[in-house]
Structure 1
Amino acid sequence: MPRTFDRRAIGDAAQIRLLSSPVRQELVDTLAALGGEASVADLAEQLGRPADGLYYHLRVLHRGGLVREVESAGGGEQRYRLAGSGEAPLRLAYRTGRSGNLAALGRFARSLLGIATRDFEAALRLDDVVVQGPRRELWTARNKGWLSPGDVEEVNRLIERLCELTSQPRAPGRERLMSLAFVLAPIRPRAKRRSPPET
């Protein structure tokens, strides 16, 4: 039977590797967006994929303890729920150093950024996408600057708030499905390259 875990601290490298599949990342993100629980048909509709192609990935996530099967009333459609409380997106615990989960985290990040790129490129083709003003929906950017410890704390508070906002389930007045992906990373200054000797 799959073990339970703190949904905000998945640090097991094997579980993180399971989430390195773009399809499985999309499944757990979509489950969260649908309130933590959904039928396979609902997931297929939201992802634009055939339901038959999702069962394999849902079984893998179930065996890995990341989702659980939910009995449906009257033996209807198969339903799945995020493990843990099931009420919010899954989060990862970062273990740096030699005995950490660095390889799994790196693979996860590459997959996540690939999904974000596909989301961005698909949104570019939407006729009704808002690209400026206070209700802007499409944005990609990279910033690089120097932060104080207090600045880092503020950045983390703002990121947490963005995560809260973009993790809400559908409800009256909240009809636009959006995705948010981000990377925050400290940068070690690179050693200055030596100029080739003049000849």
Structure 2
Amino acid sequence: MPRTFDRRAIHDTAQIRLLASPVRQELVDTLAALGGEASVADLAEQLGRPADGLYYHLRVLCRGGLVREVEPAEGEERRYRLAGTGDAPLRLAYRAGRAGNLAALGRFARGLLRIATRDFEEALRLEDVAVSGPRRELWTARNKGWLGPKDLEEVNRLIERLCELTSQPRAPGRERLMSLAFVLAPIRPRAKRRPRPQP
């Protein structure tokens, strides 16, 4: 049975600010990729980071209400779970305009793009990464073109499907952890610069 894609959205600006940290973004994303709950050792292994360095960020995420600590069984290590229900990645609610959450969203986007750049550069060094063909694993591109309302509806449908596919937890036949980052934004023509007067 296909999993229902969880469309939980974070509206709270303070919570979005917590996710400006690339480490915290990765923790939340990795928790989702591991089924919504994981031990610190599992998170450290997937992130290639020492477990000791993750506790601070996990405590911050817990205080912010994005993650909760699960009471461990006797003799087990600490486990953390995404807050709320479901195991899909958290999504952000955008409030555009001057009264919106622009600064927090901008910091989040910069952190996300830093992670994406690092992931791409590290993948370039891999010997076994597929760079062409139907099972290609490595892409980077920027496209710029004109869309009508129907085109935009299709783009959003395809992006939503990509999010569903790249948010699946590990299962038999899905052993390669992948990262997908993108930006879709309307572009307004910039005002022409006036030529500087000649001295």
TM-score by length of 2: 0.93
- Size of the aligned set, in residue pairs, is 194
Distance 2:100 2:9 in 1: 14
Question: What are structure 2's unaligned runs of at least 5 residues?
Answer: 1-5
| 1:32 corresponds to | 32
Q: Residue type matched to 1:85 in 2?
A: T
Q: Residue type matched to 1:94 in 2?
A: Y
Identify which range, 65-74 or 24-33, moves more after superposition: 65-74
| 1:42 corresponds to | 42
How far 1:98 sits from its partner (Å)?
2.3
Give the percent of matched residue pairs that are identical in Structure 1 and Structure 2: 87
The residue correspondences of 1:1-199 to structure 2 (distance < 5 A) are: 8-195=8-195
Identify which range, 92-101 or 31-40, moves more after superposition: 92-101
| 2:3 corresponds to | none
Identify which range, 145-154 or 71-80, moves more after superposition: 71-80
TM-score by length of 1: 0.93
Q: Report the secondary structure of 1:27's partner residue.
A: helix
Distance 2:37 2:198 in 1: 67
How far 1:136 sits from its partner (Å)?
0.3
Structure 1 contact 29–89 (Cα < 8 Å) conserved: yes
How far 1:144 sits from its partner (Å)?
0.2
How far 1:7 sits from its partner (Å)?
6.1
How far 1:159 sits from its partner (Å)?
0.2
How far 1:97 sits from its partner (Å)?
2.0
Identify which range, 69-78 or 10-19, moves more after superposition: 69-78
Identify which range, 123-132 or 86-95, moves more after superposition: 86-95
Structure 1 contact 10–93 (Cα < 8 Å) conserved: yes
| 1:3 corresponds to | none
Identify which range, 165-174 or 92-101, moves more after superposition: 92-101
How far 1:22 sits from its partner (Å)?
0.7
CA RMSD between the two structures: 1.5
Q: Residue type matched to 1:157 in 2?
A: R
Structure 1 contact 7–83 (Cα < 8 Å) conserved: no
Q: Residue type matched to 2:57 in 1?
A: H
Distance 2:56 2:38 in 1: 16
Structure 1 contact 7–84 (Cα < 8 Å) conserved: no
Question: What are structure 1's unaligned runs of at least 5 residues?
Answer: 1-5
Q: Report the secondary structure of 2:74's partner residue.
A: helix
Q: Report the secondary structure of 1:80's partner residue.
A: strand
Distance 1:194 1:98 in 2: 27
Q: Report the secondary structure of 1:160's partner residue.
A: helix
Distance 1:56 1:115 in 2: 19
Distance 1:124 1:159 in 2: 24
